[in-house]
Amino acid sequence: MARPAYACSKCGNLLEVKLDIRASKEILGRSDWRKTPLSVWKYKDLIPVEPKAKIFSLKEGGTPLLKCSRLAEHLGVKNLKIKFDGTNPTGSFKDRGMTVGITKARELGMKTVTCASTGNTSASLAAYAGLAGLKCVVLIPEGKVALGKLAQAMMHGALVISVKGNFDQALEMVMKSSEKLGMYVLNSVNPFRIEGQKTAAYEICDQMDGRCPEYLYIPVGNGGNSAAYWKGFAEYESLGIASGHPVIRGIQAEGAAPVANMFESNSKELVPVKKPDTVATAIRIGNPANWRKTVRAIKESGGYASVVSDEEILEAQRSLAKYEGIFAEPAGAAALAGLAKDIKLGKIDLSADVVCVSTGHGLKDPDVAIEQSIQPRTIEASMNALEKLLEGE
């Protein structure tokens, strides 16, 4: 059995797959990939799995890029689209990375897969581990995982371990125990996860006929997805498929914003947030493992990271639901909250072409949705009672 590595043994930085642009151009030139429908595996030629690898897929990717005219009008911008990755099989973008990660796990002969998670990674890993017949062990922060995500991990048969601590502590435990216990880590420290997630950027360009948005707003938690998007955009540009790349705007929740703090204070090193807290539990992370990658990605794109408050996140969540029929979980609304804030502060050209990434489905976190909504009205089972109620509305 292979011994997996996630970081460089010399410098300690996380490993990264480097695409051979010239070879990839040649391979793509010989293939009819353009005719294939959108999905993660449409881009198989740009994903490092063995040509004969058995692929474990639930048909992830190919998620809609929704033109949001009502929301745009409400916010006062011209061109707003939402990449709704909450429509993936388990309801979050994690499936893009997991189909590749689990395919790789089987290719490497792994028997047990593991992760620490604020919820979505564990839900996705549990589903794909089931599909591939692998044992799955997930560590979650006690009491801080949204109900839907917990239900998924449990239902798919993972061994769910609730840690009396936060995500950062759980991830540290996973990293330390995995080598000792021979478990394959499928957090975003795993470079193959990033290779799956970068396909969302390819998709956006393909959905825009080879153009790119001018701005991409994206939530930042552990920092893997923002780095993955940048990798995808940069590769597509280098391959000559996209005509440019977007500026990446990383959005963090006020109470869990170590990356945004770096931009704010112009510092080179991350200062972890000891007790991260936010209603967007998916991004309740104080010491992001991918901070170097995401800071580099955001800077290379010409962007920066900033914060939004919990109230701004919830307002964005309600707006997505009300104006566009998009039900996002709080973290999946953080990017839009970032855009709304930039509009208010006059930090963005109102006619710019903007894409906000919505990363997870609202059904993941029913408690937060119910808490902030108008409660159901109870009446007697009579026409009279119904008419009386509707008259008052």
- Output DSSP code: residue 40: G
Which span sits near ligand F0G by CB under 6 A: 199-207, 296-304, 324-332, 341-349?
Answer: 324-332
Interacting positions 43-62 with ligand F0G (CB under 6 A): none
Under the binding rule (CB under 6 A), the answer on residue 89 touching ligand F0G is: no
Residue nearer to ligand F0G on the CB measure, 4 or 119: 119
Under the binding rule (CB under 6 A), the answer on residue 362 touching ligand F0G is: no
Under the binding rule (CB under 6 A), the answer on residue 117 touching ligand F0G is: yes
Distance CA 235, CA 223 (A): 19
- Nearest one of 148, 141, 123, 98 to 285, comparing CA atoms: 141
Residue 250: phi and psi, rounded to 5, are -80, 130
Under the binding rule (CB under 6 A), the answer on residue 289 touching ligand F0G is: no
Distance CA 7, CA 125 (A): 21
Cβ of residue 160: shortest distance to ligand F0G, in angstroms? 13
Under the binding rule (CB under 6 A), the answer on residue 331 touching ligand F0G is: yes
For Cα atoms 57, 60, 62, give the angle at the middle one, nearest 5 degrees.
Answer: 140
Helices (H) and strands (E) in the chain, counts: 15, 10
Under the binding rule (CB under 6 A), the answer on residue 118 touching ligand F0G is: yes
Pairing of strands 353-358, 79-84: parallel
Cβ of residue 250: shortest distance to ligand F0G, in angstroms? 8
For Cα atoms 14, 19, 23, give the angle at the middle one, nearest 5 degrees.
Answer: 160
Distance CA 222, CA 160 (A): 20
Which span sits near ligand F0G by CB under 6 A: 35-43, 222-230, 295-303, 373-381?
Answer: 222-230
Which span sits near ligand F0G by CB under 6 A: 8-16, 157-165, 205-213, 325-333?
Answer: 325-333
Cβ of residue 26: shortest distance to ligand F0G, in angstroms? 31
Under the binding rule (CB under 6 A), the answer on residue 92 touching ligand F0G is: yes
With CB under 6 A as the contact rule, the residue among 125, 137, 273, 283 that binds ligand F0G is 283
Under the binding rule (CB under 6 A), the answer on residue 141 touching ligand F0G is: no
Which span sits near ligand F0G by CB under 6 A: 10-18, 119-127, 151-159, 310-318?
Answer: 119-127
Cβ of residue 338: shortest distance to ligand F0G, in angstroms? 12
Residue nearer to ligand F0G on the CB measure, 207 or 317: 317
What is the residue whose two structure tokens read 């991350």? 270
Under the binding rule (CB under 6 A), the answer on residue 188 touching ligand F0G is: yes
Residue 298: phi and psi, rounded to 5, are -60, -40
Which span sits near ligand F0G by CB under 6 A: 3-11, 40-48, 64-72, 220-228?
Answer: 220-228
Which span sits near ligand F0G by CB under 6 A: 6-14, 32-40, 74-82, 118-126?
Answer: 118-126
Under the binding rule (CB under 6 A), the answer on residue 101 touching ligand F0G is: no
State the residues that interact with ligand F0G by CB under 6 A: 92, 94, 117-121, 188, 219-226, 282-283, 329, 331-332, 359-360
